[in-house]
Amino acid sequence: MPLVFAGVCSHAPGITGRKDQADPAVRDAFYGAFDRMRLAIEAAKPDALVVVGAEHFANFFMDNMPAFALGMADHYEGPIEDEQWLGIKRRRVPGDRALSERLIARVMRDVDVAYAEEWKFDHGIMVPLNFLTPRYDVTIIPANINCQGPPLTPLSRAWAFGRALRKAADEMPERIALVGTGGISHWPATPNSGKINEAWDREFLKRWSANRRDELLSYTDAETYREAGQGGFEIRCFIAAAAAAEGATGEIWFYAPIPIFAVGCTIGVMNL
């Protein structure tokens, strides 16, 4: 079946972990946009949701860091963080090993991807799931792009990964949805946590919505680091989602800097 849904959302741990410290009006509008996205995903009736995240040394460490990885298990678990710190209770999340294996085999024809038969989700996946599949009744296929630090896969490869995921999804009999998660400009886990380059974010989201490959891939990592912080390397997940929706344009349903969440909070959806 052709891909049934593609979108992007933020995943910062503060979104759930420090929710009481945010301006309630902005926070609730953001949560409302998350809920609108949940309804759109539900309306697409997916058999499985591929979540393209950028994990933060939960499973993959510097001793053996894949540029790209896909989960291949019948169930996962998360969050790996302290439940109280993240504000999300630990639980089992359903997967589908057989579907993963078919997807991975297809993706590998275009992009070399590591597989993981065990995967403990961190906030990068658990925060989106907390809002998008709150009953944890949707099959999740986790995907990871290393965005933690150099050496990083080039943006063009993140695009290729997204395109490969699309080709694979289209060839499956199942209905597949895809969500990319990450920050745009942000400086998380530094003393500058809360700094957000709103102008840079808005320009990036304009390019994401227009979904023109050359514009999205024109950023250099040096420029991103300078203008958008080390957290900005996570644009790879947004770019993969755009590639998965190649040929379509998108809409930004929500964008607002929420400093205590340490990121410009974003919900964007492609019109497939």
Total residues at interface with another protein (CB under 8 A): 25
Q: Which lies closer to another protein via its Cβ, residue 28 or residue 82?
A: 82
Q: How many CB atoms sit inside 10 A of residue 129's CB?
A: 25
Distances (CA, A) of 112 to 24, 66, 160, 164, 193: 44, 10, 10, 10, 34
Q: What track of x and - describes contact with another protein for positions 230 through 249 (by CB under 8 A)?
A: x-------------------
Q: From the list 95, 229, 250, 257, which residue makes contact with another protein (rule: CB under 8 A)?
A: 229
Q: 79 preceded by cis ω (within 30°)? A: yes
Residue 191 C-beta: closest distance to another protein, Å: 5
Q: Which lies closer to another protein via its Cβ, residue 187 or residue 254?
A: 187
Q: What track of x and - describes contact with another protein for positions 137 through 176 (by CB under 8 A)?
A: -----------xxx--------------------------
Query: Per DSSP, what are the bridge partners of residue 270?
Result: 250
Alpha-carbon distance of 19 to 36, in angstroms, equals 19
DSSP state, residue 256: E
Residue 16 C-beta: closest distance to another protein, Å: 13
Q: Rule CB under 8 A: say whether 188 interacts with another protein.
A: yes
Q: From the list 191, 214, 222, 247, which residue makes contact with another protein (rule: CB under 8 A)?
A: 191
Site for another protein in 4-63 (CB under 8 A): 18, 56-58, 61-63
DSSP state, residue 188: T
Pairing of strands 114-116, 48-53: unpaired
Q: Which lies closer to another protein via its Cβ, residue 150 or residue 173?
A: 150
Q: Rule CB under 8 A: say whether 253 interacts with another protein.
A: no
Q: CB-based burial of residue 149 (10 Å sphere; 0-12 exposed, 13-18 middle, 19+ buried)?
A: exposed
Alpha-carbon distance of 170 to 172, in angstroms, equals 6
Residue 253 C-beta: closest distance to another protein, Å: 28
SS3 232: helix
Alpha-carbon distance of 234 to 182, in angstroms, equals 5
Q: From the list 40, 110, 175, 225, which residue makes contact with another protein (rule: CB under 8 A)?
A: 225
Q: How many CB atoms sit inside 10 A of residue 110's CB?
A: 14
Residue 189 C-beta: closest distance to another protein, Å: 3
Q: From the list 23, 28, 74, 82, which residue makes contact with another protein (rule: CB under 8 A)?
A: 82
Q: Which residues bind another protein (CB under 8 A)?
A: 18, 56-58, 61-63, 80-82, 85, 148-150, 187-193, 195, 225, 229-230
